[in-house]
Every structure is written in C-alpha cells, then in structure tokens.
Structure 1
Amino acid sequence: MANLTWLYAKAALTGFTRRGSELPGTSPAAEVVVDPGRLARYGRVCGFGVRDELPITYPHVLGFPLQVALMTGPGFPFPLPGLVHVANRITRTRPLLVGEPLSLRVEAVDLRPHERGRQFDVVTTAAVDGEEVWVDVSTYLRRDGGVGGGSGGERGDGHGDGGRGDDERGGGRGDGGQAGGGRAGGERAGAPEPTAVWRVPADTGRRYAEVSGDRNPIHLHALTARAFGFPRAIAHGMWSKARCVAAFEGRLPDACEVDVRFKAPLALPGRVGFSTTPTGSGWRFALWSRKPHLEGLISG
C-alpha cells in the first residue's frame, strides 16, 4: 500500500501545478487482509462493537491509501488541497467478514459540471474471490468559479448560512454541501427531534486519523485548521457517517446501501443531535446542531 505521509507531502509540493479536464484510469488492484487490532481501534473511535462482520464503512479506510495515491498520481487534474468531499454512498451485496482477504480497486469517474465548479466520483470496489461485494462512491467538488448552471446536480452551497463544506482534502474554504450525485434525504425546515445526543470530543479528529490514515490538518488541531480557514478542527465526514451507521449496528440488511450528503462541518469539540425516521425499506437519519451536518438514507 502507498505511504500516506509521502503522498500528503507530494500533494503539497505538486498540487498547485495541476490542470486538466480528464480523469486518470483505474488503480492497480491491492490485496488487503484486515488487521483485527486496527479494526478494534476503529470500532472504539466510531462506536462499533466487536463482531466477525466488518462495519459497512470500514473498507473505505482500507481503500483510502489507494484513493490518495490516485488523486496525487500522474494525470489527475486537480490539486488535492481544496477538494470538498460532498457525498458518499456505500453499497454491499452481503456482509464482509473479518477473515476474508479483499481485492480493492479505485477509479475516478464522471467528471461533470457543477454551478460552483466541477464534480467527480472516486469509486472504490472490494471483491472476494473475484466477486464484487462492496462499492463505495465518494463525490468531490472542485471549486473553480462555476461553469454556468452545472448539469451535475443540486446547489453546491448546501447550508442555509453559506457555511464551509464538510470535508476538504487539505483545507481551504469550502462551500459545497450537497452532492450532485447524492440522493440522501431532502432539505428540512428545522432540526428534527433527536433520537440521541452525542458529545464529540476535541480529539476525535486525531483519533480517527490514527485508524484511518487521513491526517488532513483541518481535522487534527485548531492551530492547523485555522491555517486553512477553519476556526476549530472539524470532524472527518467519514467519521460522522460511521458514527451514524454504528447506531444501526445489527439492524442493517445483508444487502443494503447507505447514502449520505455532508453538509455543514462539525467543529470539535461539539454536541450533536442524531435523529432517525423509518422508511418503507430502511431509515432516514441526520446529525444536527444549529444546522445540519449530515443527512443520510439507509435502504435495503
């Protein structure tokens, strides 16, 4: 697997020279075996129990080095700093087990216009014995002044107060909240009644970085976050998603999809309300404080 420390340094040194209008091809496959110790640490950070079944969000962590390698490699058109992670959709055909070797592959696809720039998807797939069993689609926004209306989807600001986008690769001010490709939830007039209230400690970003490898400075300390325009460190978007999914542990269908849109950033430390609403085939869920941080949909 790629060395993430080197890749982040490479992104800082070479990113500002990147220009282009085409996405690179698919990454080589990587064979991965789950480390039970790392998985247990991930579970403690995100709220999962100890089970033989992998949390549906965990292969995203396993594929993260491949994702960064692709986005810092030859031919990638955008600098890593400033990319806004606006949505994530994970689909599995069956649960993955801790002892199963996974074959992971990553590709960047569907570069499309957005009213605030351009969007694209980073697709990570996991196969077992040649059978694709898990697919992760992360939608990113590259802000560049817009391209006139954007056929790629919905409004990019996403937050009623014009806040920053939730999860940026390397910093900068973001304003992409909703994903053009995301399908989770709809706009709400006000905060829903919480099912639970969670306190999110100040070290959440550092703890998640240790288990995920995502050491983006906007998540680690207030000092490093301020250098990129955030008054405090913010939680990783994928931590927020995992924490929500952990609340449904043991209740997800074997074959299911978990689709989220990242909204306003969750400043650390924080206090958020988690809400759920049953649907015909699953649940809608959300994280709120004064404004929405995440809205999602589980469907079977």
Structure 2
Amino acid sequence: MVAVVELSSGPGTGAAYARAVLGLLPGTRRGAALPDMEMVQRGVVVDRSHLAVYDRVCGFRLSDTLPATYPHVLAFPLAMRLMTAPDFPLPLIGLVHVTNRITVRRPLSADTPLDLSVRVADLRDHPRGRQFDAIATASVDGEEVWRGVSTYLRISGPAAAKGDRPAEPAALPGGAVWRVPARVGSDYAAVSGDRNPIHTSRLGARLFGFPRPIAHGMWTKARSLAALEGRLPEAYSVDVTFKQPVLLPARVTFTAARTGAGWQFAVRSNRLHIDGLVSEAAHS
C-alpha cells in the first residue's frame, strides 16, 4: 500500500541538497527498493512574480497560461524530498536525467490552484547502471490536468561501445541560432530550485567530468517549447531525450519541423543535445 505524505507547504530544496551531499559519505547505507510513498501538496497557488521570472529565463511570453514545463518546477521540491531520503537506493548527486515526457491535458491558468503529487517507480537495470522514473502530476478538483515522467540514470558500468549507441536522428533543415550565456545555469537554478553545482560552478562541473558548467536539460526543453509558442495544440504530449549536455556559454541551433500530429524538434551544436517530439493528446 502506498503511503501518502501530505505537506502543507513546499519543502524547499536547500536542505535536500545538503542531505544529498551527506549521502555521498563513505558508509552510507541505502535501501534496496524505491520508497512506496507519494508526496502530495494541495492547493498550490502560482506566484505570478516567480512565473514571470521563469518565463523570462526560458524565453516564454508573459501570459496567464502556464508553460507546459512550469508544473515540473512546482513539483520539483517534492521529488527532491523523495530522492534524498536516507533509504533511497541511489544517491541523488550523479543521477543523469535521460528522458522527460510531459502531457498537458488542457491549458492551465495561473489563477487555478493545483494539487501536486510525486512518486517514484520502476527501478530497473540499464546497460550502464540503474534507472527509475519520477512521476509528477497536477490535478484540479480531482481531475489530472498535467503529468510529467522523468527518467533518471545512475551510471555504474562502462560507457557503451560506439557501435552499441543508437543512431542519431537526421538533422532537420534550417534552424535558429541561440547564443546561450553562461548565466543561464545560475538563472535557471535560482528559479527552478535545481541548484546542482554542475550547472552553477566550474569546480562542481569539473568534479563530474565537465570542463564548464552545463545547462539544465529542462531549461533546454522549456526553451524549445518557447520557440514553438503559439503553434502547439491545447492538449499535447512532449517527449525529449537528453543527449549531450550544453556546455555554457554556448552557441546552438534549434530546428523544428511539422509531423502528422505535432512537431519534431532538436537542439544541436557540433553534437546533438536534445531530440524532441510534440504529439496531440486527447482532452480529459
């Protein structure tokens, strides 16, 4: 039976990152399974000033309609609370966000309080380690209106041989050039609460093998959806696979093309950073 933990206010992320660092100390004991628990926060009211900053950082127009990626930010502290529990089977620091799927069932207004929930599921083996899903939902009056599924990987095995890697999709024609400043890492960290030092600190990035801080994958996804603003259906799903990180500062190219039921898009430089697909979803 799933244990439901209801929070009266957001848990924040500062203490969670402190727990994550302590979890790296030698001798830390971890559980063998994911916690059978759901974190819930009801009646979450959108802070319009926070939404405006998020819109600015990610490139969205100011609007009363929430960007598809914004509820991910609202639910992120709940996910952090789960993933930094002492018995969580994998350490938070070092997890790689490999895919994200968001489903918007209808437009969400900043005026509407949301009931948020987060749980984790499906701990499974991967050729390079172990992975699991973090599942977040937003509901209004008992009806699910938004869902996000993030898959995280803990790498423990050797890198896949070049011949074992899936082929990259062909590059789309044309595209818009984005110049991504170094401050994107710290700006998005401040508005999202995701303060992983690989995004904000050169030293933190180097500790994990990156020469410079890297952009958040969810910033790159949000920036891509901002580029498609005004051309998306009211109800849709958007899937992305995070490939190679964007080293900051960067100059990348965004490309998009219509498909039968949506959009295919990608962000590239001399390598592929994200590959995405928007498809129409039925209204609830």
TM-score (structure 2 length as normaliser) = 0.89
Equivalent residue for 2:21, pick from 12, 18, 26: 12
Deviation at 1:290, TM superposition (A): 0.4
The residue type equivalent to 2:168 in the other structure is E
Check if 1:293 corresponds to 2:273: yes
Check if 1:142 corresponds to 2:154: yes
| Richer in strand (by share) | 2
Q: SS state of the match for residue 218, structure 1?
A: coil
Equivalent residue for 1:263, pick from 243, 246, 253: 243
Deviation at 1:59, TM superposition (A): 0.3
Contact 1:18 1:78 (8 Å CA) reproduced? no
Deviation at 1:227, TM superposition (A): 2.7
Instruction: Look up the match of 2:124.
Output: 112
Identity within the alignment, %: 57
Contact 2:30 2:87 (8 Å CA) reproduced? no
Runs of 4+ in 1 over 4 A off after TM superposition: none
- Give CA-to-partner distance per residue, 1:139-184, whole Å, 9 cap, x none: 01112228xxxxxxxxx859x699xxxxxxxxxxxxxx98xxxxxx
Deviation at 1:19, TM superposition (A): 3.1
Contact 1:112 1:119 (8 Å CA) reproduced? yes
CA distance in 2, matches of 1:92, 1:280: 19
Instruction: Look up the match of 1:103.
Output: 115
Instruction: Look up the match of 1:283.
Output: 263
Q: Which 10-residue stretch deviates more, 97-106 or 227-236?
A: 227-236
Instruction: Look up the match of 1:225.
Output: 205
CA distance in 2, matches of 1:255, 1:15: 41
The residue type equivalent to 1:27 in the other structure is E
Equivalent residue for 1:252, pick from 228, 232, 251: 232
Contact 2:39 2:82 (8 Å CA) reproduced? no
Equivalent residue for 2:65, pick from 36, 46, 53: 53
Structure 2 unaligned residues grouped into runs of 5+: 1-9
Equivalent residue for 1:2, pick from 11, 18, 39: 11
TM-score (structure 1 length as normaliser) = 0.85
Structure 1 unaligned residues grouped into runs of 5+: 147-155, 163-176, 179-185
- Give CA-to-partner distance per residue, 1:239-270, whole Å, 9 cap, x none: 00000000111221111000000000100000
Q: CA RMSD in A?
A: 2.0
Contact 1:27 1:66 (8 Å CA) reproduced? no
Instruction: Report how many aligned residue pairs link the two structures.
Output: 268
